[in-house]
C-alpha cells in the first residue's frame, strides 16, 4: 500500500519502538518499501546558550559548530546501531537535517515523496529523576502542530509496556 | 508599500512612546504618577519618550524608503531598532508603572500575608524586567521584528559594565580586588576540582565533569559554552549541564538577596557573596540590583567579583584543555584556548576606570562635599527600608530631643524620600536649593548631636539620616550621566537576557549533572556565605 516511508528517530527508547515497527514489522510485510531514516538536529540548540552574555560571537559560533559536529557523530553511531540491529535497514537512506522538529518532518516527507511518516510514542519524561542520561536535547513533538502540517498519513508506534505510561 | 508594512511595529512602538511623552508633558498623568510615587521622574519620562520615539520614527522612515542593506548602520542600528525600542518600552513601563504597582499591591496584601511580597521576593524593576523577558519568550515568543534587537542585550550589558568602570577609585579597586582574587580564586578552583573529584567518585565521563566543573566553578552557562568544544562534550552532557546550571542560577538569583537581607549583610558582604556563589554572571548583576537597586554599591562590589571570575575563565579553559589534551592526545593552540576566550569588554572597563582616575569626568573638588545635588532622581533617594524606618520613627515619636527645625527636616525627608527643597518650588532653583541646604544642615546637626551624645536616636534612624545626607553629595555630571545610563543599560540588558532563557533549556536539567551540580553549588554557596561573613568587612565606597 505504501511506497515510501519516512522514519523519524533520534535513538531514544520511544524512537526505537518506531524503528522496530518499521524494520521488523512493516518491512516484513512490504519488503519493497523505500525507507528514509530522518534524524532532526533540533534548531533549539541555538537557544541553549541561555543567559550567556560574556562570550564573543566567535565563541558562540564555535559552540554551535561543535554541537552540530557532535550531534552528527552521534547520529552516525545511532545509524550504525540501526544497521546492525535490522538487516532491512541496509537499503534505507539515512539523513539528518537541522530545523524545527514538526516543520522539518513535514517538509522532508513532502520533498522525498513519502506517503507515510512513522514516529515513536509519547512517553512521560523521567529526565529529572532518572540518573541515566537520555541522548541529545529533550524535545517533544507537538502533535497538534504536526497534524496541521502533515502532507501524508502519520503512524505512531504503540507504547511498549516496559517504557512506562 | 511592503516596506512600510514591514516597519509597522516600529512605527507603532515609536508612536506609542511619543504619545506617552505628550500625555506626560501635558500633566494629565501627574495624579497617577503622584499616586505611584514616580512624579519626580516626570521630566525624564517625557525626555526619554520623545527622544526614543523620535529616533524610532526616523528609523522607520529610513527603513521604509530605502532597501535594507548590509552596511554597519543597517546591521547595528536600523535592523535591531524595533527590538531595542520594544525592550526600552518594556523597561520604562516596568520601572515607572509595574514596579510601583507591585509595591502598592504588596503593601495592601501585607495585613493578610504578614509580609511584603515585593520585599521577600525582591521584586524591583530589575527582577521584574528579567521575569517579563522570560515570560514573554516562553509564552507568546519573541516577535519576529524584535529578534535582531534582543540579540543586542549582550552588548548593552557589556556597555553597562564598561560604564561602571568610571565609578571606582584606586583604593576601592585595590581593596575589593584583593578580596575578590582570594575569594574567587579559592572558590573557582575549589569548585572546579570538587566537581572533577565528585565525577570520579560517581564514575562519570570526564567530558561531562569537565564541562560541568567549568559551569559550576567559573561563570555558569558562559563557561560551559566556552569549554564544551575544548573538552569535546557529548550532546546530552551539554544539554543536561546547561539545564542544571541555568535552573540552579535562577533559583540563586531569587534566594540570595532574601537570605542576604535576613542575615543583615551589608552591600560589600552581599556583593562579595553573590559574586562568588551565584553561577551565571548576568544573574550576579541581577541579584546585586535586586538586593539594592537604589544604591549601586552592591553592584560595584559584585561586578568586581564578576570580572575577577571572568578573568579566571581563560585559565580554567587552559587547565581543562591541558587535562583533556592529556587524556585524548589532542593539542589545542594558546590562541584557541586563551586569546579567543579573553573577555575584551574588561579592557573597556579598565579604560573607563583609568580615565575616571585621571579626573577626566570629575574635578577633585566634586569629591570634597562642596557640591550638593537636591534634584529628583533615584540616586538621591534613601532606600525603601530606610524610609520605612524613618516613617515609623516619626509616627511613633521615637526620635526625641530634636529642635522643631530638625524635626521638620526629618518629616520632609520622610515625605520626599530624599533631601530636597519644596516640590512646588522646584522651578525656582535658587529657592529650592536653599531649602534643601537648610534641611541638610538640620539633618547634619542631628547626626552631630547624636555623635556628641546630647541626643539619643536609634541606630537604624541614624544610619538612614546619614545615608540621606550622603546621597545628595554631588558627583560630576559626566559620572552621574554615565551612572544613569549604566542603570538603564543593566535594566535593558537583563530584560533582553531574560528573553533568551527558554523553558526548554531549563527543563534539560536532570541526571548526574543535576546531582553533582546541586552538591557542588550548594556547598559553594554555603561555604562562601560563611567565609564572606567571617572575613569581608565593610569597605568605604563613594
Q: How far is A144 from chain B (nearest CA, A)?
A: 17
Q: What average pLDDT score do residues B193-199 get? A: 94
Q: What average pLDDT score do residues A93-98 get? A: 93
Q: Helices (DSSP H) in B165-219: which residue ranges?
A: 170-201, 206-214
Q: Do A53 and B157 touch (CB under 8 A)?
A: yes
pLDDT at residue B273 tops 50: yes
Domain ranges of chain A: 4-163
From chain B, the residues in CB contact with A54 under 8 A are 219, 222, 281, 310, 313, 343
Q: What average pLDDT score do residues B178-206 get? A: 91
Please answer whether residues B393 and B399 qualify as being in contact, where contact means their C-beta atoms are separated by less than 8 angstroms.
Answer: yes
From chain B, the residues in CB contact with A70 under 8 A are 232-235, 238
- Of all helices (H) and strands (E), which one includes residue B421? none
Q: How far is A21 from chain B (nearest CA, A)?
A: 26
Q: How far is A127 from chain B (nearest CA, A)?
A: 5
Q: What whole-number distance in Å separates Cα of residue A76 and Cα of residue B107?
A: 60
Q: Do B512 and A139 touch (CB under 8 A)?
A: no
- Collapse the DSSP code of B280 into the 3-class scheme (helix H, G, I; strand E, B; otherwise coil) and give the result: coil
Composition of chain B by helix, strand, coil, percent to 5:
75, 0, 20
From chain A, the residues in CB contact with B341 under 8 A are 55, 59
Q: How far is B418 from chain A (nearest CA, A)?
A: 35
From chain B, the residues in CB contact with A101 under 8 A are none
From chain B, the residues in CB contact with A47 under 8 A are 500, 502, 504-505
Q: Closest partner residue to B221 among A49, A56, A133, by Cβ?
A: A49
Q: What pLDDT does residue B368 have?
A: 36
Mean per-residue pLDDT over chain A, rounded: 87
Q: Which three cell numbers stand for residue B267?
A: 552591600
Q: Which three cell numbers stand for residue A151?
A: 502532507
Q: Do A131 and B511 touch (CB under 8 A)?
A: yes
Q: Do B221 and A50 touch (CB under 8 A)?
A: yes
CATH class given for the domain over A4-163: alpha beta
Phi, psi of B147, rounded to the nearest 5 degrees: -60, -40
Please answer whether residues A108 and A97 qualify as being in contact, where contact means their C-beta atoms are separated by less than 8 angstroms.
Answer: yes
Q: What pLDDT does residue B332 have?
A: 67
Q: What pLDDT does residue B539 have?
A: 56
Question: Taking the CA atoms of chain B, what radius of gyration do you get in angstroms?
Answer: 25
- Chain A interface residues (partner B, CB cutoff 8 A): 44, 47-56, 58-60, 62-63, 65-67, 70-71, 74, 125, 127-139
Q: What whole-number distance in Å separates Cα of residue A88 and Cα of residue A65?
A: 33
Q: Each residue of B17-41: pLDDT tens digit?
A: 999 999 999 999 999 999 998 988 8
Phi, psi of A35, rounded to the nearest 5 degrees: -120, 130
Q: What whole-number distance in Å separates Cα of residue A71 and Cα of residue B234?
A: 8
pLDDT at residue B341 tops 80: no
Q: How far is A32 from chain B (nearest CA, A)?
A: 35
Q: What average pLDDT score do residues B486-507 get? A: 90
- Tell me how long chain A is: 165
By the 10 Å C-beta count (0-12 exposed, 13-18 middle, 19+ buried), B261 is classed as middle
A–B interface: beta-carbon pairs under 8 A: 128
pLDDT at residue B340 tops 90: no
From chain B, the residues in CB contact with A135 under 8 A are 235-236
Q: Each residue of B507-522: pLDDT tens digit?
A: 888 889 999 999 999 9
Q: What pLDDT does residue B293 have?
A: 75
Q: What pLDDT does residue B172 have?
A: 78
Q: Of B172-181, B206-215, B253-262, B468-477, give the lowest mean pLDDT range.
A: B468-477
pLDDT at residue B367 tops 50: no
ipTM of the complex: 0.88
From chain A, the residues in CB contact with B505 under 8 A are 44, 47-48, 50
Q: What whole-number distance in Å separates Cα of residue B479 and Cα of residue A28?
A: 78
Question: Can you give the pTM of this predicted structure?
Answer: 0.79
Q: Do A128 and B225 touch (CB under 8 A)?
A: no
Q: Closest partner residue to B236 among A55, A63, A133, by Cβ?
A: A133
Q: Which three cell numbers stand for residue B151?
A: 540579540
By the 10 Å C-beta count (0-12 exposed, 13-18 middle, 19+ buried), B113 is classed as exposed
Nearest to B263 by CA among B275, B278, B253, B273: B273
- The DSSP secondary structure of B55-122, one letter per residue, reads HHHHHHHHHHHS----SHHIIIIITTHHHHHHHHHHHHHIIIIIHHHHHHHHHHHHHHHSS-HHHHTT
- Of all helices (H) and strands (E), which one includes residue B362? none
Q: Which residue has the higher pLDDT, A62 or B377?
A: A62
Q: What whole-number distance in Å separates Cα of residue B62 and Cα of residue B77?
A: 11
Q: Do B229 and A66 touch (CB under 8 A)?
A: yes
Q: Closest partner residue to B341 among A59, A70, A125, by Cβ?
A: A59
| Best residue in A12, A46, A51, A62 for a mutation probing chain B (most B CBs within 10 Å) | A51
What are the residues whose beta carbons fall under 8 Å from the beta carbon of B177, sequence distance 6 or more? B304, B308
Contacts 24+ apart (CB under 8 A), B137-143: B137/B498, B137/B499, B137/B500, B137/B501, B137/B502, B138/B502, B138/B503, B142/B83, B142/B499, B143/B9, B143/B86
A97 forms beta bridges with: A40
Q: What average pLDDT score do residues B513-536 get? A: 93
Amino acid at each position: 500500500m505504501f511506497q515510501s516511508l519516512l522514519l523519524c528517530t533520534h535513538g531514544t527508547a520511544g524512537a526505537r519502538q518506531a524503528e522496530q515497527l518499521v524494520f521488523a514489522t512493516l518491512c516484513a510485510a512490504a519488503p519493497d518499501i523505500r525507507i528514509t531514516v530522518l534524524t532532526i538536529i533540533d534548531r533549539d540548540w541555538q537557544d541553549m546558550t541561555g543567559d550567556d552574555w560574556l562570550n564573543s560571537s566567535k565563541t558562540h559560533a564555535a559552540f554551535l559548530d561543535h554541537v552540530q559536529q557532535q550531534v552528527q557523530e552521534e547520529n552516525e553511531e545511532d545509524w550504525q546501531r540501526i544497521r546492525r540491529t535490522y538487516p532491512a535497514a541496509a537499503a534505507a537512506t539515512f539523513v539528518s537535517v537541522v530545523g524545527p522538529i514538526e516543520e522539518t518532518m513535514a517538509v522532508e516527507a513532502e520533498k522525498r515523496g513519502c506517503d507515510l511518516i512513522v514516529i515513536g510514542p509519547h512517553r512521560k519524561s523521567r529526565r529529572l529523576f532518572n540518573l541515566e542520561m537520555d541522548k541529545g536535547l529533550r524535545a517533544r513533538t507537538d502533535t497538534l502542530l504536526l497534524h496541521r502540517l502533515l502532507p501524508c498519513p502519520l503512524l505512531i508506534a504503540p507504547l511498549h509496556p516496559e517504557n512506562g505510561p | 508599500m511592503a516596506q512600510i508594512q514591514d516597519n509597522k511595529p516600529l512605527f507603532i512602538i515609536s508612536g506609542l512612546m511619543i504619545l506617552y511623552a505628550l500625555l506626560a508633558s501635558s500633566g494629565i498623568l501627574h495624579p497617577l504618577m503622584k499616586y505611584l510615587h514616580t512624579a519626580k521622574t516626570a521630566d525624564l519620562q517625557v525626555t526619554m519618550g520623545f527622544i526614543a520615539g523620535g529616533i524610532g520614527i526616523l528609523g522607520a522612515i529610513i527603513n521604509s524608503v530605502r532597501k535594507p542593506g548590509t552596511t554597519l548602520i543597517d546591521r547595528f542600528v536600523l535592523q535591531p531598532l524595533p527590538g531595542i525600542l520594544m525592550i526600552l518600552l518594556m523597561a520604562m513601563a516596568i520601572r515607572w508603572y509595574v514596579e510601583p504597582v507591585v509595591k502598592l499591591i504588596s503593601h495592601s496584601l501585607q495585613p493578610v500575608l504578614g509580609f511584603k511580597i515585593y520585599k521577600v521576593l525582591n521584586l524591583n524593576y530589575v527582577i521584574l524586567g528579567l521575569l517579563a523577558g522570560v515570560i514573554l519568550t516562553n509564552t507568546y515568543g519573541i516577535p519576529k521584528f524584535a529578534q535582531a534587537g534582543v540579540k543586542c542585550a549582550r552588548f548593552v550589558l557589556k556597555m553597562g559594565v564598561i560604564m561602571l568602570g568610571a565609578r571606582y577609585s584606586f583604593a576601592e579597586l585595590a581593596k575589593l580586588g584583593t578580596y575578590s582574587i582570594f575569594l574567587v580564586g579559592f572558590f573557582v578552583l575549589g569548585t572546579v576540582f570538587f566537581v572533577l573529584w565528585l565525577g570520579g567518585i560517581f564514575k562519570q565521563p570526564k567530558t561531562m565533569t569537565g564541562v560541568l566543573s567549568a559551569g559550576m566553578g567559573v561563570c555558569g552557562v558562559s563557561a560551559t559554552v566556552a569549554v564544551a568544544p575544548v573538552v569535546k562534550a557529548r550532546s546530552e552532557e551539554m544539554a543536561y549541564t546547561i539545564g542544571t546550571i541555568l535552573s540552579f542560577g535562577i533559583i540563586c538569583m531569587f534566594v540570595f538577596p532574601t537570605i542576604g537581607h535576613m542575615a543583615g549583610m551589608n552591600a560589600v558582604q552581599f556583593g562579595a557573596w553573590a559574586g562568588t556563589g551565584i553561577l551565571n554572571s548576568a544573574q550576579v548583576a541581577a541579584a546585586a540590583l535586586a538586593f539594592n537597586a537604589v544604591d549601586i554599591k552592591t553592584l560595584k562590589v559584585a561586578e568586581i567579583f564578576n570580572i575577577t571570575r571572568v578573568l579566571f575563565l581563560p585559565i580554567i579553559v587552559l587547565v581543562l584543555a591541558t587535562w583533556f589534551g592529556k587524556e585524548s592526545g589532542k593539542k589545542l593552540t594558546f590562541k584557541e584556548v586563551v586569546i579567543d576566550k579573553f573577555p575584551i569588554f574588561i579592557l573597556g572597563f579598565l579604560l573607563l576606570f583609568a580615565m575616571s582616575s585621571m579626573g577626566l569626568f570629575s574635578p577633585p573638588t566634586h569629591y570634597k562635599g562642596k557640591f550638593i545635588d537636591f534634584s529628583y532622581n533615584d540616586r538621591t533617594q534613601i532606600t525603601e527600608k530606610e524610609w520605612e524606618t524613618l516613617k515609623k520613627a516619626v509616627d511613633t515619636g521615637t526620635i526625641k530631643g530634636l529642635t522643631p527645625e530638625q524635626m521638620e527636616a526629618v518629616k520632609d525627608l520622610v515625605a520626599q524620600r530624599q533631601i530636597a527643597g519644596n516640590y512646588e518650588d522646584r522651578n525656582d532653583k535658587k529657592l529650592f536649593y536653599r531649602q534643601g541646604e537648610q534641611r541638610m544642615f538640620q539633618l547634619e546637626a542631628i547626626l552631630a548631636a547624636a555623635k556628641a551624645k546630647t541626643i539619643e536616636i536609634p541606630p537604624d534612624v541614624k544610619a538612614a539620616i546619614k545615608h540621606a545626607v550622603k546621597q545628595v553629595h554631588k558627583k560630576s555630571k559626566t559620572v552621574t550621566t554615565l551612572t544613569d545610563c549604566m542603570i538603564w543599560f543593566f535594566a535593558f540588558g537583563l530584560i533582553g537576557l531574560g528573553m533568551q532563557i527558554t523553558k526548554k533549556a531549563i527543563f534539560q536539567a536532570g541526571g548526574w549533572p543535576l546531582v553533582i551540580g546541586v552538591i557542588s553549588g550548594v556547598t559553594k554557596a554555603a561555604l562562601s556565605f560563611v567565609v564572606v561573613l567571617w572575613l569581608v568587612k565593610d569597605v568605604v565606597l563613594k
